[in-house]
Amino acid sequence: MKPTPSEGALAPEAGSSHAPTPIREKIVFHDPCYLGRYRNVYKQPRTVVKRAGELVEAPRNHERSFCCGAGGGLVFLGEETGERIGKVRTAELVATGASVIGTACPFCNSIFRDALAEQGEGAPQLLDIAQLIARGLPVNGAS
């Protein structure tokens, strides 16, 4: 199988001078619907996350992942009964004990940001997958 451009760009060879220095913290990765279920991309984001920290899996992951609540226009609707899907999914991710929630979708980021704001102090940090890698890159040309 030919590697995807993002896999090559975000997961450099081990020992490469461009490989980020991982910050060893627990990161739970949320599988966005369009990346996972529609494109069947699960391995590559996890390769990236493992370079940035310790991967922790959510109870529902890969093909069985749970929607963040933005898909299908749900982000614009209010649930008539029950709890918002985004809050339910955020609670699942927080319950893993990870200090960082990572995803690769701007819609998921928006939903989780709103739900995490209600968690108050001590809520996990929310980062896009590109931010996870950028944190470990050298600053101002330092290695």
Kindly report the pTM of this predicted structure.
Answer: 0.78
**What are the DSSP calls for 2-42, one per residue?**
PPPHHHHHHSPPTT-TTS------EEEE---TTTTTTT---
Reference 70, options 113, 129, 26; nearest CA is 113
Is 90:116 a contact under the CB 8 Å cutoff?
A: yes
Rounded-to-5 percentages of helix, strand, coil across the chain: 40, 10, 50
Element (H, E) at 97: none
What pLDDT, on a 0 to 100 scale, did the predictor assign at position 136? 80
C-alpha–C-alpha distance, residues 109 and 13, integer Å: 28
What pLDDT, on a 0 to 100 scale, did the predictor assign at position 123? 93
Residue tagged 């985004």 (tokens): 86
What pLDDT, on a 0 to 100 scale, did the predictor assign at position 59? 92
What pLDDT, on a 0 to 100 scale, did the predictor assign at position 80? 63
The whole-number mean pLDDT for each consecutive block of 10 residues of the chain, a chain of 143 residues, reads: 46 52 81 82 92 93 80 61 83 95 92 90 93 85 59
What pLDDT, on a 0 to 100 scale, did the predictor assign at position 67? 80
